[in-house]
Amino acid sequence: MELQGLEHLQAAVSTGKGVVLWVSHFHFFSLIPKIAMRRAGFTMSHLSHPRHGFSGTRIGMWFLNPICTHVEDRYLKERVYMELNSGTAAVNTLRERLLAGGVISIAARDIARKPVRVPCLKGTLPLAIGAPGLAHQTQATLLPVHTVKMDSGAYAVIIDLPITLDASQPKWIAGEAAAREFARRLEAVVREYPDQWLGWNYLDIGSSS
């Protein structure tokens, strides 16, 4: 397991203003980054949806999904759950962690009431902008993270350079700009590891904005 770009995380943590890890949707995004960060000495508060795991049914969320999350939780400081119909309480908790200088992680997905669609791979990709929104509100550093399995068989967790957020702009405008930049950087990783990206089903080919 290789952790690339660790210096970006170390520099961000040293500011004391908190760090948002925006984790792209590759096949190994769920567990491998958590292990790599813990081994490097960093503990995270991770935003999670109750459907994360094996099932979206109520019985599955209650009995099956904990089998998956139990393994991941070994490497987390805490898992902050969204409610099924609201993320307000979870967002407030994560904001508190950032204001205290903590590290949080959020998957780069479309789970939001109003995700934005940004240009990606000659189409558009829906992305929730809660991660850049939290970074914008708290002045935390926003770091994209990509996880791939290399030809050698080793896993690479790639911490990219920070995405700059324009503090002079409203949160939603800065968030959409951050999503566009995230998608722009994501393209290069997807082109190199297309079989490992789980975002193909969400990509609207032939549409751009």
Band the pLDDT of 70: cuts 50, 70, 90.
confident
Top pLDDT among 16 and 112 is at 16
Per cent of the chain over pLDDT 90 is 74
Band the pLDDT of 205: cuts 50, 70, 90.
confident
Q: Output the pLDDT for position 13.
A: 97
Record the tokens describing residue 153, joined without a space.
């068989």
CA distance 131 to 107: 8
CA distance 199 to 109: 9
Residue among 103, 108, 78 nearest 8 (CA):
103
Mean pLDDT, the chain, as a whole number? 89
For residue 139, how many other CB atoms are within 10 A of its CB?
Answer: 13
The answer, yes or no, to whether residue 167 has pLDDT greater than 60, is: yes
Segment 153-164, tens digit of pLDDT: 999 999 999 999
Segment 80-114, tens digit of pLDDT: 987 756 668 999 999 999 999 999 999 998 877 78
Segment 188-198, tens digit of pLDDT: 999 999 999 99
Per cent of the chain over pLDDT 70 is 87
* Distance (Å) of CA 164 to CA 105, 132, 139, 161, 181: 17, 10, 10, 9, 9
